[in-house]
Chains A and B, each alone.
Chain A
Amino acid sequence: MKKALLLTLIVALFAGVMPTMAQDVFRVAAVAPSATNDLAFSQSMYDALVAIQMQMGEDNFQFDFQDGTFIVDDAAVALREWAASGDYDLVIAHGSQFGSVVEELAGEFPEVSFAWGTDFNTFGMDNVSAYNAAADQGGFINGAMAGMMTRSGVIGVVGPIEVGDAKLYVDGFVAGVGAVSEATVNVVYIQSFSDVPLATEAAETHIANGADVLTGTAQMVVGPIAVAIENGARWFGTQASQAELAQGAGVAFQIYKWDVVLAEIIANIQAGDLGGQSYELTLENGGLVIEIAG
């Protein structure tokens, strides 16, 4: 009798203290290298998590987000803490540079589900999901539009480092231009994701060499966008919508809808499957969307 009372009391206490810990709240924690409003890669994941929260409702889905962890070790500390806490149904490492950390943690915490990208590699572990964006698809469409739009016959691209989805996008873009026109595409990789002054001057150099359409990828494109506006050139974007900043210059933006992939991963986890697959955003599955500027 007394035991039963005690038990009821404890249950009541817990119910009172932790209303959010109810059984079916799906909890996610994520790190991203840049700011949540960088108009680029990091924002694409933040927007996706917000979108999922809208779909599932705040009572059913909550997430913690640590941005600005471009230092891999800072991300590693957060990821380890989240994994060890056991409080999260899914831990996301949003950045190719976090692969080694995920590989180590996933081995150490086999009961925790991890997702990371952009990459295909799940390290052969069944608690790791990898995700990627077929950025070349939207790149091709942007390129085709750009090729039809250019009057000068010169198009400029400002890229960061020649790897990953940046390279995919640029390669797709160049192919898209080539499919519809004879226009020249000049490509510059500035070897940095964040150096705005250098990206700006790279865009100016494109303009000086006759470009009337520009594109680029990474968070430093805010500089080139400003150059496009000032010089009356057209701008094509990728990763997240830059329509607001690119007013007057923006034509189309390839947007990463990570929520398409995340919804699948979450459904699998809820069904007891912690991972082991890799996913890809494509135009076909709705993970890539081309937004036409208004």
Chain B
Amino acid sequence: MDLDDIFTASVFASAIRLATPYIFAALGETFAQRSGVLNLGVDGIMLMGAFGGFYAVHLAQTAGVMAEPLALLLGVLVALVVGGLMGLAMAFVSVTLQAKQGISGIGVYLFGLGLSELLFQQWVGTPKSVAGFPRISFPILTDIPILGEIFFHHNLLVYVAFALVPLSAFVLNRTTFGLMIRAVGQNPEAADAMGVSVTRVRYATTIIGGMLAGLAGASLSIALINLFQQNLTAGQGFIAVALVYFGGWRPLAVAAGAMLFSFVNALQLQIKVIGADIPSEFAVMAPYVITIVALVFATKRQEQPTALTKPYERGE
């Protein structure tokens, strides 16, 4: 077995696919955390978004009332709305009611986990597939050897996820809204004194986080896997939260973390497929180990937003 068999173009393509839901969810969580809200319920929101998106597409396609692209667009919209609503609930609970964020997030997770499965059982029953976002074949580009396979043969949501990375960085670092988010997360008293509504900003970021988590779920159920099953995400939302810490609350680094994690995962699958004689357990474990190790050896460490997990109450 030589390295050419391991580091194939398909492994890189696979890593890009695997990273897509993590990027959506982790970028959303980055916004929330930057403003001071830790949302541990990402996985539950992803599940609800995955189910919502899947069910909308499933209904539209069985009824046959709309064109294929429209059905998929509807699925994306439903996932965004469902995710946004759950983000809104999380914001209400943790910003307005000032509930402990770690615990309320776990509540949101359990709620999404249970409700998505319940609705699936009641409305769909057994796993059914939908025609999800197709892979795009670009003229010329897709046919480029190696690069074409790695970069130019994915579905639309994959490109959306990666496009969101620089966009998020821009919003956070270069816009007034981004400045407000950072101010609110770093020093809410000062932000408040300057006339920034801490509450409104935190609501906004938590809802954005929810919408992106919903989209992360939909990227699984209507683009990458094209079906729904109970606990479809298998804990990916928690990994996404971890990746926010990995990336030190910077979108580019968060996405890099998602790529590293996914690349090791793709690599371990490839190594097993071509028949390397290592125990499966260690192969499956590898992405988790390497993520920690990478962080240990990364030199530059970011301070976490000072007000993270701390509800804000105006002084009298």
Q: How far is the CA of A191 from the CA of B265 in the complex (A)?
A: 13
Whether A35 and B230, one on each chain, are in contact in the complex, defined by CB atoms closer than 8 angstroms, is yes
Partner of A198, one of B10, B13, B21, B234: B234
Question: Which residues of chain B from 100 to 146 have any CB-CB distance to chain A below 8 Å in the complex?
Answer: 121, 125-129
Knowing A194-B231, A196-B234, the reply to whether A205 touches B126 (Cβ < 8 A) is no
Q: How far is the CA of A245 from the CA of B225 in the complex (A)?
A: 13
Whether B14 and A201, one on each chain, are in contact in the complex, defined by CB atoms closer than 8 angstroms, is yes
Q: How far is the CA of A188 from the CA of B266 in the complex (A)?
A: 12
Residues on the B chain within 8 Å of A208, using CB = 8, 10-11, 13-14
Closest to B231 in A: A194
Question: Which residues of chain B from 148 to 194 have any CB-CB distance to chain A below 8 Å in the complex?
Answer: none
Whether A196 and B232, one on each chain, are in contact in the complex, defined by CB atoms closer than 8 angstroms, is yes
Q: How far is the CA of A201 from the CA of B21 in the complex (A)?
A: 13
Residues on the A chain within 8 Å of B232, using CB = 196-197
B250 contacts the other chain (Cβ, under 8 Å)? no
Partner of B269, one of A201, A219, A245: A201
Stretch at the interface among A52-60, A126-134, A221-229, A284-292: A221-229
Whether B14 and A204, one on each chain, are in contact in the complex, defined by CB atoms closer than 8 angstroms, is yes
Size of the B side of the interface (Cβ < 8 Å), in residues, is: 37
Whether A205 and B10, one on each chain, are in contact in the complex, defined by CB atoms closer than 8 angstroms, is yes
Residues on the A chain within 8 Å of B21, using CB = 197
Whether B121 and A192, one on each chain, are in contact in the complex, defined by CB atoms closer than 8 angstroms, is no
Residues on the B chain within 8 Å of A245, using CB = 126-129, 227
Whether A219 and B225, one on each chain, are in contact in the complex, defined by CB atoms closer than 8 angstroms, is no
A189 contacts the other chain (Cβ, under 8 Å)? yes
Whether B273 and A197, one on each chain, are in contact in the complex, defined by CB atoms closer than 8 angstroms, is no
Query: What's the minimum C-beta distance from B79 to chain A, rounded to whole angstroms?
Result: 16
Knowing A39-B127, A197-B225, A200-B225, the reply to whether A209 touches B231 (Cβ < 8 A) is no
Knowing A162-B280, A208-B8, A245-B129, the reply to whether A188 touches B269 (Cβ < 8 A) is yes
Residues on the B chain within 8 Å of A39, using CB = 126-127
Residues on the A chain within 8 Å of B236, using CB = 197
A103 contacts the other chain (Cβ, under 8 Å)? no
Whether A201 and B17, one on each chain, are in contact in the complex, defined by CB atoms closer than 8 angstroms, is yes
A37 contacts the other chain (Cβ, under 8 Å)? yes
Whether A197 and B220, one on each chain, are in contact in the complex, defined by CB atoms closer than 8 angstroms, is yes
Knowing A39-B126, A190-B280, A204-B14, the reply to whether A197 touches B272 (Cβ < 8 A) is no
Q: How far is the CA of A190 from the CA of B18 in the complex (A)?
A: 15
Residues on the B chain within 8 Å of A196, using CB = 225, 229, 232, 234
Q: How far is the CA of A90 from the CA of B283 in the complex (A)?
A: 42
Give per-residue flags for B261-301: 1 if the beta carbon is below 8 A from chain A beta carbons, else 0. 00001100110111100001100100000000000000000
Provide 21 A-B residue pairs closer than 8 Å at the C-beta atoms, listed in order of the A residue.
A35-B121, A35-B230, A37-B121, A38-B126, A162-B280, A188-B269, A190-B284, A191-B280, A196-B225, A196-B232, A197-B18, A197-B233, A197-B234, A201-B14, A205-B270, A208-B13, A209-B270, A222-B229, A223-B225, A226-B227, A244-B128
Known: A191-B280, A205-B273. 7 other contacts (CB 8 A): A39-B127, A188-B269, A191-B284, A198-B269, A201-B265, A208-B11, A208-B13
B interface list, Cβ under 8 A from A: 8, 10-11, 13-14, 17-18, 21, 121, 125-129, 220, 224-227, 229-234, 236, 265-266, 269-270, 272-275, 280-281, 284
